[in-house]
Amino acid sequence: MSILITGANRGIGHALSRAWQSSGTEVIQTARNSPGMEPLDVADPSSIKELAERLEGQPISTLVCNAGVSLDKFDELETGYAPELWAESFAVNVTGVFLVIQALLPNLRASRDAGIAPKIAIIASQMGSQNSPAGNRFIYRASKAAAINLGRNLAVDLESDGIAVGIYHPGWVATDMGGDSADLTLDEAVPGLRKQIDELTLSETGCFKSWDGSDCEF
């Protein structure tokens, strides 16, 4: 059993890596530029291709698409939200998620063939919810809404492959992205998030859950 995590060098990705490692699970930690980790820039298709080539033939039982950016925190409706921010945010939060999953499908299938049920966890956000819009942060919200949509549709296409897809809201967590006033520490949120991912099966593929196991609004 091995778990691959994108953006494993800090924040939630790093804490998830540590949690699985501490219980003896092999974790392939990937990061843009971090010594000892597999290099992976999810916004760079050639970097994704190179990772897939390095990992060819190696089963991956859980793929955690965690890497993400939040670039419009201080933007104003009238003056902000520049096109470059849209492009960069979608390259990481949406296209990057899709391309990493696409590139590593053979590894997930190899896990299935070895008898370990494969799964994909997409770390999205409640901020991508369509049903409970709160205004502002248009780029981040739209990118996470797209990530949720991606997860829902991949769940349909991958069910016959035996690959479960879960979509998760990690809570509002104190990280570089979440900031100091967040509701939760990493120590509070990450064990719950890990539990939700560990418990994901095909019977609930396409689910959108919070770190505490409650259902999130789409």
Compare residues 68 and 118 and give the one whose CB is closer to ligand NDP.
68
What's the chain look like in SS3?
A: CEEEECCCCCHHHHHHHHHHHHCCCEEEEEECCCCCCEECCCCCHHHHHHHHHHCCCCCCCEEEECCCCCCCCCCCCCCCCCHHHHHHHHHHHHHHHHHHHHHHHHHHHHHHHCCCCCEEEEECCHHHCCCCCCCCCHHHHHHHHHHHHHHHHHHHHHHHHCCEEEEEECCCECCCCCCCCCCECHHHHHHHHHHHHHHCCHHHCCEEEECCCCECCC
Compare residues 145 and 173 and give the one whose CB is closer to ligand NDP.
173
Compare residues 108 and 140 and give the one whose CB is closer to ligand NDP.
140
Q: Is 11 in the site for ligand NDP (CB under 6 A)?
A: yes
Q: What are phi and psi of 31, to 5 degrees?
A: -160, 160
Compare residues 31 and 52 and give the one whose CB is closer to ligand NDP.
31
- Shortest gap between Cβ of 123 and ligand NDP (angstroms)? 4
31: tokens are 């990061």
Per-residue contact flags (x/-) with ligand NDP for residues 137 to 176, judged by CB under 6 A: --------------------------------xx-xx-xx
Among 86, 182, 198, 218, binds ligand NDP (CB under 6 A): 182
Site for ligand NDP in 17-76 (CB under 6 A): 31-32, 40-43, 66-70
Q: Which of 11-19, 21-29, 76-84, 204-212 is the region at the interface with ligand NDP (rule: CB under 6 A)? A: 11-19
Among 1, 85, 177, 202, binds ligand NDP (CB under 6 A): 177
Q: Is 10 in the site for ligand NDP (CB under 6 A)?
A: yes
Q: Is 104 in the site for ligand NDP (CB under 6 A)?
A: no
- Shortest gap between Cβ of 58 and ligand NDP (angstroms)? 20
In one-letter notation, the amino acid at residue 168 is Y
Which residues contact ligand NDP by CB under 6 A?
A: 6-7, 9-13, 31-32, 40-43, 66-70, 92, 123, 125, 169-170, 172-173, 175-178, 182
